[in-house]
Structure 1
Amino acid sequence: MKFRNQLILSLFGVLAISQSFAQEAPPTGQVLDKIVAKVDNNIILESEVQQTYIEALAQAQQGITAPTRCEVFESLMINKLMVAKAEIDSVLVTEPEVMLQVDNRFNAVMQQFGGDESVLVQVYGKTAEQLKGEIEDVIREQLIVSKMRSKITEGLTVSPADVRSFFNSIPKDSLPLFTSEASVGQIVKKPEVSPEVRAQLIAQLSQFKQDILDGKADFADLAKRYSEDPGSGSQGGDLGFFRRGELAPEYEATALGLRPGEISDPVETQFGFHMIQLLEIKGTSYNTRHILRIPTPSEEDIAKTERYLDSLKKEIEAGRIDFAKAAKEYSDDRATSDNGGFFTDPSSGSKRLSLRTLEDPVLYFTIDTMEVGNITKPIRFEDPREGIKVRILYYQAKYPAHRANLNDDYEKMKAATLRRKEDEILEKWFVTAKEDVFIDIDPAYDRCNALSGN
């Protein structure tokens, strides 16, 4: 069995979600889909195979063979098998877990439309609710598959000897070719706005609350008109269920201090000022809606932040403080500050990464023009959730394209070794698991010999 490609969905599923929404709807009445496989109550559509195969081809990295259509089909079958077995073995995911991921993904998609649902409907023929429903189905399956994999491979670790043995087992002419890589760090500061702007937003939200209490306004209507949260604004401010510890501490403390239906006074978090209404509490999860107002820094506020980062840059260049130490102490970007400000490869956690993995094209082209060892002047950029920010970038090192080796690519090889061990465990699990479920495959895919164990 070719477990090499069984992670296709986990690698490309997220992208496939957003890409599938970017396709024009087929003409009415044109039949383009059919069920090509069933695993108990779980079905696979021809469109799923096609979309995943296209994404796999598009995203195949240099030095790694792209999967065949049959391998993609088999990966989908394995995922459905895990979902079916999860139901049998009572491996479940909670609604809050699902909705948290759905809301995050939905918000990211809505940002592409500026939070305007009418544009979404006009361009792609999907309402926000339809979009959310489609995302929910995919997210639920991904979470179940992830939980099943974790259960099956629980406690699995690899030693340096395992990594060395795995690396030595790869024929020298089959070692992957890695493109040029770099180590890049950033220190980010969010400009502090003036007290006058803060006071204006607090007064506005306080007035909103009073108007709602007086029956002069509706919370959902105000959220749709004024909230600057691109995901929840169009939904009347509804955030859905979150578990304790998943939202900003100030937001959560305020929300859980309310009674269901009660509306808070304005509260500030790193995202801006919120007016919160608690809707429901279920166990350790809670559902709220909010109106978010993001304070806009003035030109002087931004310039002050630029001067601060410029001074910090000079301190680093003079050797009076290490870049990583400065990032940990002063950067407002938690995603990178814990790593000393450095971007990391999402698959291996290594600080060496291909610049093309950076999602921000402006960031990519800025680094591409830098010299190794340089730190940029303060650069303004737009954070989709938090508005204008300022950062300095540090180009620590560059690594030329090369064949994989243990000295330069240990973390990547360690991740690959772990995946190989997981594959071995999963293959043994599969032999017995497939006997516990009903499997039916369309004759068109008989040639793939999916789930044959060969």
Structure 2
Amino acid sequence: MRAHFSFSFLVKGIFSFSFLCLGFSAQAQQPTLIDNIVAKVGSHIILRSELEFQHSNALSQGYQSPQLRCDILKSLVQNKLLLARAEMDSVIVEESMVTGELENRLSTFISQIGSEERLEEYFNKPMNEIRSDLRRSIKEQMTLQRMEREIAGKIAVTPKEVQTYFNSIPKDSLPYYSTEVEVGQIVKISQIGNAQKQAAREQLEEIRRRIVAGEDFAKLAMQYSQDPGSGAAGGELGMLKKTDLIPEYVAAAFKLKPGEISPVIESMYGYHIIQLIEKRGEEFNSRHILIKPATGQADVALTTQQLDSIRTLIMKDTLTFAKAAKDFSDDRSTKGNGGMITLPNSPTTYIPVDKLDPSIFFVLDTLQVGSISKPLPYRTEDGKEALRILYLKSKNPPHQANLKDDYQKIAAAALNNKRNKAIAAWFEKNKDTVFVDVVQEFQACNLEN
């Protein structure tokens, strides 16, 4: 059966937190190849390495088709066309949103791989180049998502359309689902005590005194800064706009003259000292040293007590888990979803047990449906110490897909199918508004159909 690749497939692949799915990492840990351009779409190009990376990634996910490269190339062309039209139509993604996603993504990657040094080794690039490549990739991804919403964001499906879509699937092609669970969490980040804050501030004050006395800011940043993105680059962030950084940082930096050092300032990330390198209108380049206060044992004990109290209220039916998650959880990705953990890009709250994080899997193995674990140690994606309680909401045995048990998944598939058709129609309507040129080797892909 021919695989169908869409714009949505590529966006989902790129947004995966797996190191094999970073949009800019196609040549990480691979032999150097002679690269060339396989297609031009307006001012945008598609490299052979990009096509081959997506092809390898698709194969690793089980996609098989004689036309696989052509299907992927068509999706890449669609993506570049969307980017070109976004420029023409002035569809803009705010730089502050890009910066926020960049910092979150970098923290996650470094946490996954273990250190900045290992990340640099993996990509065979210094940290500042990784940051630059990732920023460009994230901005493209967010622009593609915004364009997709412009085209198909208001499309919905009715229950009748869901049923029609389900009935159109041959019975022998219906997927078979393994055991699945619904799992919720309430996360509490361990609060930092005054003693830990004071210790962090004093450490940074001492570093500042050393710089003022003549030591090199960049060397001390490499030695002490706890910013995973800039520390290895001597604390330097590169030319950025005011909107790219948090207000406290910008306010302090714009009070400085080039070469001057700020006093210690506090932000949501910890304590900083800043050195202004260059300022051009609303853009500036600076370096900084970040010190994060440590979490003390007493603070962990207090957080444990808070979660124990919340757990008791839920177990006594005084409070629902969803309401408790909304009111008390510090995890922004789940608190608005009743505390339920979901897989990236999943349309449902059900998670196959073989996809569970091992730390969750072994806890759930001790829980009955409807029960809640005691507080467990947890580290957030940005590296903060925390505790959480886990809730086993439901557990589905292995079964073949059906409307009763899998309505959410089938509805999502029907919606995705309808949106893909809308995007394909948009592509057909707009493909002649941007110049598209494909090398002779791939002319047989017949991208115009």
1:52 Cα deviation after fit: 0.7
Worse-matched range after superposition: 398-407 or 45-54: 398-407
> 1:90-129 residue pairs with structure 2 within 5 A?
90-93=90-93, 95-112=95-112, 114-117=114-117, 119-122=118-121, 124-129=123-128
CA offsets 1:270-320 (integer angstroms, 9 cap, x no match): x4444466886977x998754332222333432443344334333432333
| 1:286 to 1:420, Cα distance in 2 relative to 1, 3 A | farther
Q: Please give the alpha-carbon distance, in whole angstroms, between the structure 1 residues aligned to 2:77 and 2:206.
A: 55
Deviation at 1:208, TM superposition (A): 3.9
Which stretch shows the higher mean deviation, 132-141 or 176-185? 132-141
User: Which residue does 1:158 correspond to in 2?
Assistant: 157
AA matched with 1:347: N
> Aligned letter for 1:452?
E
Distance between the aligned counterparts of 2:214 and 2:320, measured in 1?
56
What is the CA-CA distance between 1:194 and the residue it aligns to?
Answer: 4.0
User: What is the CA–CA distance in structure 1 between the aligned matches of 2:208 and 2:24, rounded to whole Å?
Assistant: 39
C-alpha spacing 1:6/1:265, structure 2 compared with 1 (3 Å) = closer
Question: Match of 1:378, as an amino acid?
Answer: P
How far is the alpha carbon of 1:48 from its aligned partner? 1.5
Partner of 1:20: 25
| Residue in structure 2 matched with residue 263 of structure 1 by the alignment | 262
Give the SS at the match of 1:7. Answer: helix
Distance 2:425 2:177 in 1: 32
Once the 2 structures are TM-superposed, how far is the Cα of residue 395 of structure 1 from its aligned partner?
Answer: 1.0
Cα distance in structure 2, aligned partners of 1:107 and 1:188: 18
Q: Using the TM superposition, name which of 344-353 and 329-338 deviates more.
A: 344-353
SS state of the match for residue 8, structure 1? helix
Question: Are 1:33 and 2:39 an aligned pair?
Answer: no
CA apart distance, 1:215: 5.2
In structure 2, the residue corresponding to 1:70 is in which secondary structure? helix
User: 1:318: which partner in 2?
Assistant: 316
Amino acid in the other structure paired with 1:376:
S
TM-score relative to the length of structure 2: 0.81
- In 2 relative to 1, CA 156–435 (structure 1 residues): closer, same or farther, beyond 3 Å? same
Give the one of 392, 395, 398 matched to 1:395.
392
Q: Distance in 1 between matches of 2:44 and 2:26?
A: 22
Q: Which stretch of the first structure deviates more once superposed, 298-307 or 74-83?
A: 298-307
Structure-1 residue corresponding to 2:12: 11
Corresponding residue SS for 1:410: helix
The question of whether the paired residues in 2 share the 8 Å contact of 1:8 and 1:72 is answered with no
Name the structure 2 match of 1:378.
375
Q: Is the contact between residue 106 and residue 228 of structure 2 (CA under 8 Å) also seen in structure 1?
A: no
> Structure 2 vs 1, CA of residues 88 and 417 (structure 1 numbering), >3 Å: closer, same or farther?
same
Show the counterpart of 1:224: 222
Structure 1 residues 417, 277: CA separation in 2 closer, same or farther (over 3 Å shift)? farther
Query: SS at the partner of 2:312?
Result: helix
What is the match of residue 190 of structure 1?
189
- Name the SS of the counterpart of 2:129 in structure 1: helix
Is it true that 1:71 corresponds to 2:71 in the alignment? yes
Q: Determine helix, strand or coil for the equivalent of 1:143.
A: helix
Q: In structure 2, do the counterparts of structure 1 residues 317 and 281 end up closer, same or farther at CA, with 3 Å as the change threshold?
A: farther
2:447 counterpart of 1:445:
no
Note the C-alpha offset of 1:398.
0.7
Distance in 2 (alpha carbons) for counterparts of 1:390 and 1:286: 38
What percent identity do the matched residue pairs reach? 36
Name stretches of at least 5 consecutive residues in structure 2 with no aligned partner: none
CA RMSD of aligned residues (A): 3.7
Shift of 1:430: 1.9
User: Is 2:81 the counterpart of 1:81?
Assistant: yes
User: Is the contact made by 2:39 and 2:45 (CA closer than 8 Å) also made in structure 1?
Assistant: yes
Taking structure 1 as reference, are residues 338 and 41 closer, same or farther at Cα in structure 2, changes over 3 Å only?
A: closer
Q: TM-score, normalised by structure 1?
A: 0.81
Tell me, yes or no, if the aligned pair for 2:184 and 2:390 is still in contact at 8 Å: yes
Change in 2 beyond 3 A, CA 1:334/1:41:
closer
CA distance in 2, matches of 1:231, 1:209: 20
Contact 2:347 2:412 in 1 (8 A): no
Change (3 A) 1:3 1:430: farther
1:370 & 1:148 partners in 2: Cα distance?
43
Q: From the superposition, tell whether residues 446 and 309 of structure 1 become closer, same or farther in structure 2 (CA, over 3 Å).
A: same
Following superposition of structure 1 onto structure 2, how do residues 361-372 of structure 1 map, counting pairs within 5 Å? 361-372=358-369
The aligned residue for residue 56 of structure 1 is: 58
2:420 pairs with 407, 411, 423, which one?
A: 423
Give structure 1 stretches of 5+ with no counterpart: none
2:95, 2:379 → 1: CA distance?
33
Q: What is the SS of the residue equivalent to 1:353?
A: strand
Aligned AA (2:228): P
Deviation at 1:51, TM superposition (A): 1.1
